[in-house]
Structure 1
Amino acid sequence: MKRIVLAALLTSPVGAEPLPPGFVHLSRVAPQIAQDIRYARDFNFIGAPVPGYDAAECILTTNTAQALIRVEARLAEQGFGLVVYDCYRPKRAVAHFARWATQSEPPDHRPPGVEPAGDTPPEAPTPAQVFYPDLTRNQLIPGGYIARRSGHSVGHTVDVSLRLKGTAVPLPDFPDAGRCDAPQHNRADEGLDMGTAYDCFSSLSADKATVSREAQSNRKVLTRAMEAEGFRGYAKEWWHFRNTTDPSTKAHDFPVSAP
């Protein structure tokens, strides 16, 4: 496949929210890539918007944005596309995750109780019951699911999944969510089956986990397209990729802003 040169498109237009040199809003240069930036809204493992996420936008280094656009082009030839969940992540957000993971209050998991009587609607599941149903938050750092420092803060690391080309991306929420590693029809998910939902802190999220044939196939399609453009995955999370061709090393703390 021909390499796609998009440097001219990766210049922020006049009037855009200023970013540090070398960063771009992905929506400006690749609107065809779907976004569901989870940490800008409530539907995530904390259950609230995360400090530093002032907008639901993917921001990346120019190098990584170019590489991700090439991944999207590769997938389009196969009838697929990308959805991004997290891109650049401010250092303050990383620190917030680490503080949260060491807290003991409030309880993570709602204790079993009597089912509501009559027409009383059941309570929505807690973030813990959806995103880490078999763990407690103080197990997430030792388990390798939360890091005290993150490549996301450099801008060369992305959390992504696969979708069918041209399909809209629904925005799941807690009332409709089951545990993240349940069969796909029992969890809040987006499109193609990847074996677990995004940000699922479960052994089934590992790239070598035993999942359905469909999920295995989808993971391979995503991984091969990402690796072809220089991204390297993380063994415990099928969605997490770092752009190894990006020489950037500095972690940043500017807020995630709208373009």
Structure 2
Amino acid sequence: MLNKLNCFFYCFFLFVSLLKLPENFVYVEDQIPSIIIDLRYCSENNFVGEIIDGYEAETVILTQQATKALKDVQEKLLKDSLSLKIFDAYRPQRAVNHFRRWARDINDTLMKEQFYPSIDKRDLFKLQYIATKSRHSSGSTIDVTVVDLKTNQELDMGTSYDYFGEESGVKYNNITDEQIANRKFLQTIMLANGFRNYPQEWWHFTLRGEPFRDQYFDFVIK
């Protein structure tokens, strides 16, 4: 009986240790339970068309500093019956490597019609849609949109998440007035709460003064 009990506690503490995050990283849902999660790389609904290396659970990880700033955004949105939806946050380096391998296979165009209909896959590196390193791997970058909690619908931003093309640019204006206003709303509230944007992608934000700038982590999301 004692040996079985010892084995149980050993397995329990081993399990807990495997879940422990590096110092200064947190599970976002523990800090912001109201936030909506749609972690695309933990599914086949992404530009590759398969689950991406390093995404073993649909859980969101960020640095404590980025999470605190994100919580401020969420609290403001909730007052107007709105919520953030997270598509991606911390991204292991092995996931970035997965993207690079996929991008080099020019014959794999399974998801082209949905995510990059006007882009030649051979140009993804040149156009900086795929890179060797990602700010996401530093733990303070996030991809988000806004959901109307009254309708449970995302605000119309003019393109889907991860759409490769000029249409996704922050300043792109060949879209409806409503779509322009929705993008401006997201940009305004994120920038006002400590984030900076990425001009090519309306959904992409990085915490100003991020704690691990130019450091790229590779621990698995689980």
Q: TM-score, normalized by length of structure 2?
A: 0.87
Q: Residue 133 of structure 1: CA displacement? A: 0.8
Over 3 Å counting, the alpha-carbon distance change for 1:212 and 1:245 in structure 2 is same
- Match of 1:146, as an amino acid? I
Which sections of structure 2, spanning at least 5 residues, go unmatched? 1-15
Are 1:191 and 2:145 matched, yes or no?
Answer: no
Q: Residue 167 of structure 1: CA displacement? A: 5.3
The CA distance in 2 between the partners of 1:166 and 1:83, in whole Å, is: 14
Which sections of structure 1, spanning at least 5 residues, go unmatched? 1-14, 109-125, 169-189
What do the CA deviations read for 1:18-46 (whole angstroms, capped 9, x no partner)? 11111111112112110100001100000
What do the CA deviations read for 1:126-167 (whole angstroms, capped 9, x no partner)? 411100011132211211212211110010000000111365
Asked if structure 2 preserves the Cα contact closer than 8 Å seen for 1:144 and 1:236, the reply is no
Structure-to-structure mapping, 1:64-79, within 5 angstroms: 64-79=66-81
Partner residue in 1 for 2:205: 241
The CA distance in 2 between the partners of 1:243 and 1:74, in whole Å, is: 17
Partner residue in 2 for 1:97: 99
Q: Residue 100 of structure 1: CA displacement? A: 1.3
Range that drifts further, 231-240 or 16-25: 16-25
SS of structure 2 residue aligned to 1:159 = strand
Structure-to-structure mapping, 1:99-138, within 5 angstroms: 99-106=101-108, 108=109, 126-138=110-122
SS of structure 2 residue aligned to 1:45 = coil
Q: Residue 78 of structure 1: CA displacement? A: 3.3
Over 3 Å counting, the alpha-carbon distance change for 1:127 and 1:193 in structure 2 is same
SS of structure 1 residue aligned to 2:154 = coil
Are 1:251 and 2:213 matched, yes or no?
Answer: no
* Bigger helix share: 2
Asked if structure 2 preserves the Cα contact closer than 8 Å seen for 1:81 and 1:166, the reply is no
Q: Residue 214 of structure 1: CA displacement? A: 0.8
Are 1:224 and 2:195 matched, yes or no?
Answer: no
The CA distance in 2 between the partners of 1:164 and 1:104, in whole Å, is: 38
Q: TM-score, normalized by length of structure 1?
A: 0.75
Asked if structure 2 preserves the Cα contact closer than 8 Å seen for 1:160 and 1:240, the reply is yes
Are 1:157 and 2:141 matched, yes or no?
Answer: yes
Q: Residue 198 of structure 1: CA displacement? A: 0.3
Kindly report the root-mean-square deviation, in angstroms, between the aligned alpha carbons of the 2 structures: 1.7
SS of structure 2 residue aligned to 1:66 = helix
Q: Residue 203 of structure 1: CA displacement? A: 1.0
The CA distance in 2 between the partners of 1:201 and 1:143, in whole Å, is: 9
Range that drifts further, 85-94 or 24-33: 24-33
SS of structure 1 residue aligned to 2:196 = strand
SS of structure 2 residue aligned to 1:208 = coil
What do the CA deviations read for 1:182-236 (whole angstroms, capped 9, x no partner)? xxxxxxxx52100100000021100111211111111111111101111001111
- Match of 2:216, as an amino acid? A
Asked if structure 2 preserves the Cα contact closer than 8 Å seen for 1:36 and 1:85, the reply is yes
- Match of 1:29, as an amino acid? Q
